[in-house]
A and B are shown apart, each in its own frame.
Chain A
Amino acid sequence: MIRKHTISVLVNNQPGVLQRVSGLFGRRGFNIESITVGESEEKGLSRMVIVTTGDNQTLEQIQKQLYKLIDVIKVVDLSSHPMVARELALIKVNAEPAARPEILGVVETFRAAVVDIGPCSLIVQVVGDSEKIDAMVELLKPYGIKELSRTGATAMIRGAVK
C-alpha cells in the first residue's frame, strides 16, 4: 500500500552529506516530498527529516540504502510511531485595507501570526502539521496569494526516548 512516510536521518555534518542523501533518493527512484535539515542535539551531527511516499517495501529499501551511506548514523521511520510533525509557512497575501479585518479573523482562528504589513499585502506565518497549512492556504486563496514559502515538515516521536 502506498502511503506517506516521515523518516528521520541522523547524519555526520560533513560537506556533501545532503547531496549523498538526496542523490540516493533520486537515483533509486524514491520520492522526496519534503526535506528539512538542521543541527541535532549532538555536536557534529545533523538531523534530516524526509517526507516520502511509497509502499512498505520501498520504505524498507530506503532505510537500508540510507544505512549504506557512511555518513548516516541512524534512520528512524517516525511515522510508524505516534509523532509530532510541524511545518512553518510564510504566506504573502493581497490585503487592501478593507480586506484586512476579514484576513485577520482567519489568522486568529488558525492561531497564526501576521509578521509583516505592507501597503497592500500581509505576510502570514502559520505553524502546524501539513494539513493545517494546506487548509490555511485554501482559506487565503480567495484574497490572492502573491507568494508562498513552506519549510517542509520536521518531526519527532512523542513521549520519552528509551
Chain B
Amino acid sequence: MIVQTTQKSKEQLRAELLKPDVITGSEMLLRSLLLEDVDCVFGYPGGAVLYIYDAMHGNPDFNHLLTRHEQGAIHAADGYARATGKVGVCIATSGPGATNLVTGIATAYMDSVPLVVITGNVATSVIGTDAFQEADITGITMPITKHSYLVRDVRDLPRIIKEAFHIASTGRKGPVLIDIPKDVSNDKAPFYYPEKVEIRGYNPTVQPNKLQVERMLEAIEESERPMIIAGHGVVSSDASAELIEFVNRTRIPVVTTLLGLGGFPSAHELWLGMPGMHGAYTANKALQSCDLLIGIGARFDDRVTMKVNGFAPNAKKIVHIDIDPAEIGKIVSTQIPVVGDVKAVLQLALQKAKPARSEAWISHVTRMKQEHPLRYKDSETELKPQYVIEMIHETTKGEAIVTTDVGQHQMWAAQYYRFNHPRSFISSGGLGTMGFGFPSAIGAQLASPGRTVVSINGDGGMQMCSQELAICAINNIPVKIAVINNQVLGMVRQWQEIIYDNRYSHIDLAGSPDFVKLAEAYGVKGLRATNKEEARRAWTEALETPGPVLVEFVVRKGENVYPMVTQGNTIDDMILGDSE
C-alpha cells in the first residue's frame, strides 16, 4: 500500500523540519503538514499548485495519493479522518480543482469531520481579474467551512496552518480551507512553526458546567422511562467506553443515530436500534413514550425527529449534551442544557451517576425489541439486499469498517450490519452525498491497513466516483467493494411508489455499465452474484483475495426500506411494509 514510513525517527524528522531555514511557501506547507503528523495527503495537481507539487517531488518524507478526481480526494480524506479521528488533508488547484471539492467540504461540514483543505489560487496580483482558473473559493465555501483563510503573505502561512489544524480538530470539528495564491507558494521567508495557537474569538467549552451535570443526574434518578439518543458526538469525542459505563450505571436504554452507530455496541442489551425515518420499531416507540430524553452528541436532525412538534411528547425533561451551544434549543426545547465535550461530560457524570427507576421500562422495551425485530421477507428465487448485508456482516464477523453511499443500501447497511465498534460505520449522514461511499473507503483503508474495509454502494452512487477504482488497483488498496445493484435509484423509486402514487420518474438505471467489466478495466478483480449461493461464494472469494475486489450483487428491483415514516408524520407512525 501507499503509506510508506520514512526511514528517519520522528524526533530526527521533527528537528530537521523545525530548522529556521529561508524556504518557499510550498516547502513551508509540506513541513507544516509533516509537523502536524499528516501521513497521507489526497490530491490532484494543477497550474496554481505547481510549486507545491514541485516541492513534493523527491521528498521521501511526504506521502501524497493522486486520485482521479478532486471529489475522490476529499471524500478519501474524509474517510481517513472518520476512521482515525485525525485531521484529513487534501489538495487541489484553483478554479475547477477547488470547486470540485465543494461537495466534499459540505459533506464534512454537515457531519463535523475534521479536514484541512488546501487549494491553490491565482497569483495575488491577478486575484479579482477573472484570471484563468480563478474562483473565489473562500467566498464560495464560507457557509460550508468552519473557517477559511486566503493567505496573502507567505510569512503568515505557518501560523495559518497551525490555526487551521487547531480549529478543524477541536470543539465541534469541521473542515477548514486554506487558499494559497501561486505567488505565495513560491515566496520565501524564514520558517518558524508556532508551538501554540492563540485565537481570541475561539475558545470551545470542553468542560461542562457541574451544576448542569448534577441537574441531569437528578433528573435521571427521578425518571422511570428514560432514553438516550447517542449521536456522532459520541464517536467524535471517542467517548464510547464512557457511554457504555454510563448506561450500565444509570440503566438507560439507548438508541444510536445513523452516525452514532457503533458509538454504542448493538450487542448491548439496552441498545434499541436506530431511530427516525427508517428507524427500528422499538427505537421509535420508546422515544415517543419516554419521560426523560437525553441527547448525547446528537443534533435532533429532521430524519431522526420527523415531525418535531410530536417528537418525544411524553418527555417531561430533555437533556442535551453537545459541544456546540448553538445546537442546544435549535430544534427541541431543552430543559437541561449541558455544553461540553461528550467524553468530559460523561467522565464528570460518572463520578456520581446513580440508576434511574427504569427496570420496569427496560423489561417493557426489551420485550418490544424481541417482539418487533427488523424483518424482511427473504426469497429463494431472488437475491434480497438485506440478505446481502447480513451475509457481509456474518462473513466479516461484524469487525469490518463499513463505508456506505447514500440511499436504500445505506439504510439496509445501517439496519442489518450490527455495529459494535466506534469509527466502523462511515457514511454521509447530514448532506447525504452520493459518490461518497467508495472513495471514503480508500481513505479509511489507508488509515487502517490492518482492518477489512468494506464499501457498500448502490448502482447509482457507484457511478459517481467509480474512477477511483484506478487508485485502488495501482496502489493495491484492498477495499472490498459491494455494489448492491437493483437497476434503479432505489430510494427515489421508493418515495415515488409510496408518496407519488407509483409515478416513476427518471429512476431507471438500465444501461449502467457492466460493473464486473468496469472493475476489470481498471485492474480490479470483479465478481457477480445473482442468488444467495453465488453471493456467499463471490463475497468469500473477495475477502480471501488480497487486494481490491468489486462484487456486484444483482438484487430485487422493487425492494423497499422498512420501517418508514413519511414526512409530516411522527416517528411512531411507521409504515411497516413487509417487515411485519
Q: Which residues of A contact B324 (CB under 8 A)?
A: 68
Q: Tell me the bound Cα distance from A11 to B201 in angstroms.
A: 8
- Between A and B, 15 residue pairs with Cβ closer than 8 Å are A12-B200, A16-B138, A16-B139, A16-B142, A23-B142, A27-B143, A60-B329, A61-B329, A64-B325, A68-B146, A68-B326, A69-B201, A70-B147, A70-B199, A70-B202
A23 adjacent to B326 (CB under 8 Å):
no
Closest 4 CB pairs of A and B: A64-B326, A70-B147, A73-B201, A70-B202
For the A-B complex, the count of residue pairs with Cβ-Cβ distances under 8 Å equals 41
B201 adjacent to A72 (CB under 8 Å):
yes
- B residues within 8 Å of A by Cβ? 138-139, 142-143, 146-147, 150, 167, 172, 199-202, 324-326, 329-330
B325 adjacent to A70 (CB under 8 Å):
no
Q: Tell me the bound Cα distance from A107 to B326 in angstroms.
A: 47
Q: Which residues of B contact A27 (CB under 8 A)?
A: 143
Interface membership of chain A positions 47-89, coded 1 if the CB is closer than 8 angstroms to chain B and 0 otherwise: 0000000000100110011011111110000000000000000
Nearest CB in chain A to that of B203: its residue: A67
Q: Does A15 contact B (CB under 8 A)?
A: yes
Most buried by A among B142, B143, B201, B325: B201
Q: Does A19 contact B (CB under 8 A)?
A: yes
Contacts A69-B201, A70-B147, A73-B201 hold; do A20 and B142 have CB atoms under 8 A apart? yes
Q: Which residues of B contact A65 (CB under 8 A)?
A: 326
CB distance from B15 to the nearest CB of A (A): 32
Q: Tell me the bound Cα distance from A16 to B143 in angstroms.
A: 12
Q: Tell me the bound Cα distance from A12 to B324 in angstroms.
A: 21
Contacts A57-B329, A65-B326, A67-B325 hold; do A73 and B143 have CB atoms under 8 A apart? no
Nearest CB in chain B to that of A20: its residue: B142
Q: Which residues of B contact A70 (CB under 8 A)?
A: 146-147, 167, 199, 201-202
Interface membership of chain A positions 1-22, coded 1 if the CB is closer than 8 angstroms to chain B and 0 otherwise: 0000000000110011001100
Q: Tell me the bound Cα distance from A127 to B103 in angstroms.
A: 48
- Residue among B139, B201, B202 making CB contact with A19, cutoff 8 Å: B139
Not counting A68-B172, A69-B147, A70-B167, a sample of 11 additional A-B residue pairs whose C-beta atoms are within 8 angstroms of each other reads A11-B201, A12-B201, A16-B139, A19-B139, A61-B326, A61-B330, A64-B325, A68-B146, A68-B324, A70-B147, A72-B201
CB distance from B299 to the nearest CB of A (A): 13
- A residues within 8 Å of B by Cβ? 11-12, 15-16, 19-20, 23-24, 27, 57, 60-61, 64-65, 67-73
Nearest CB in chain A to that of B172: its residue: A68
Q: Which residues of A contact B326 (CB under 8 A)?
A: 61, 64-65, 67-68
Q: Tell me the bound Cα distance from A20 to B139 in angstroms.
A: 9
Q: Which residues of B contact A57 (CB under 8 A)?
A: 329
Q: Tell me the bound Cα distance from A61 to B167 in angstroms.
A: 21
CB distance from B221 to the nearest CB of A (A): 29
CB distance from B577 to the nearest CB of A (A): 36
Nearest CB in chain B to that of A65: its residue: B326
Q: Tell me the bound Cα distance from A57 to B202 in angstroms.
A: 23
Q: Tell me the bound Cα distance from A12 to B199 in angstroms.
A: 10
CB distance from B190 to the nearest CB of A (A): 24
CB distance from B166 to the nearest CB of A (A): 10
A15 adjacent to B167 (CB under 8 Å):
no
Q: Which residues of A contact B146 (CB under 8 A)?
A: 68, 70
Q: Tell me the bound Cα distance from A15 to B172 in angstroms.
A: 24
CB distance from B468 to the nearest CB of A (A): 31
A19 adjacent to B142 (CB under 8 Å):
yes
Q: Which residues of B contact A68 (CB under 8 A)?
A: 146, 172, 324, 326
Q: Tell me the bound Cα distance from A39 to B167 in angstroms.
A: 26
A15 adjacent to B150 (CB under 8 Å):
yes
Q: Which residues of A contact B167 (CB under 8 A)?
A: 70
Q: Tell me the bound Cα distance from A12 to B343 in angstroms.
A: 32
Q: Tell me the bound Cα distance from A73 to B217 in angstroms.
A: 33
Q: Tell me the bound Cα distance from A53 to B172 in angstroms.
A: 28
CB distance from B22 to the nearest CB of A (A): 27
Q: Tell me the bound Cα distance from A27 to B141 in angstroms.
A: 13
Q: Which residues of A contact B330 (CB under 8 A)?
A: 61
CB distance from A56 to the nearest CB of B (A): 10
Nearest CB in chain A to that of B148: its residue: A16
B142 adjacent to A71 (CB under 8 Å):
no
Nearest CB in chain B to that of A16: its residue: B138
Nearest CB in chain A to that of B152: its residue: A15
CB distance from A126 to the nearest CB of B (A): 36
Nearest CB in chain B to that of A45: its residue: B200
Q: Tell me the bound Cα distance from A19 to B150 in angstroms.
A: 14
Q: Which residues of A contact B172 (CB under 8 A)?
A: 68
Nearest CB in chain B to that of A44: its residue: B200
Q: Which residues of B contact A72 (CB under 8 A)?
A: 201
A73 adjacent to B200 (CB under 8 Å):
yes
Q: Tell me the bound Cα distance from A67 to B200 in angstroms.
A: 12
CB distance from B281 to the nearest CB of A (A): 33
Q: Tell me the bound Cα distance from A11 to B146 in angstroms.
A: 16
CB distance from A118 to the nearest CB of B (A): 37
CB distance from B106 to the nearest CB of A (A): 12
CB distance from A82 to the nearest CB of B (A): 27
Q: Tell me the bound Cα distance from A67 to B323 in angstroms.
A: 13
CB distance from A63 to the nearest CB of B (A): 9
A71 adjacent to B329 (CB under 8 Å):
no
Q: Tell me the bound Cα distance from A68 to B201 in angstroms.
A: 9
Nearest CB in chain A to that of B144: its residue: A27
Q: Tell me the bound Cα distance from A72 to B143 in angstroms.
A: 15
Q: Tell me the bound Cα distance from A20 to B329 in angstroms.
A: 23
Q: Tell me the bound Cα distance from A106 to B325 in angstroms.
A: 50
CB distance from A20 to the nearest CB of B (A): 6
Q: Which residues of B contact A19 (CB under 8 A)?
A: 139, 142
Nearest CB in chain A to that of B327: its residue: A64
Nearest CB in chain B to that of A73: its residue: B201
Nearest CB in chain A to that of B200: its residue: A73
Q: Which residues of B contact A11 (CB under 8 A)?
A: 201
Q: Tell me the bound Cα distance from A53 to B146 in angstroms.
A: 26
Nearest CB in chain B to that of A66: its residue: B326
Q: Tell me the bound Cα distance from A15 to B142 in angstroms.
A: 13
Q: Tell me the bound Cα distance from A20 to B143 in angstroms.
A: 8
Q: Tell me the bound Cα distance from A19 to B139 in angstroms.
A: 8
CB distance from A54 to the nearest CB of B (A): 14
Q: Tell me the bound Cα distance from A140 to B21 in angstroms.
A: 68
Q: Which residues of A contact B201 (CB under 8 A)?
A: 11-12, 69-73
Q: Which residues of A contact B138 (CB under 8 A)?
A: 16
Most buried by B among A11, A12, A15, A67: A67
Q: Which residues of A contact B147 (CB under 8 A)?
A: 69-70
Nearest CB in chain B to that of A71: its residue: B201
Q: Which residues of A contact B200 (CB under 8 A)?
A: 12, 73
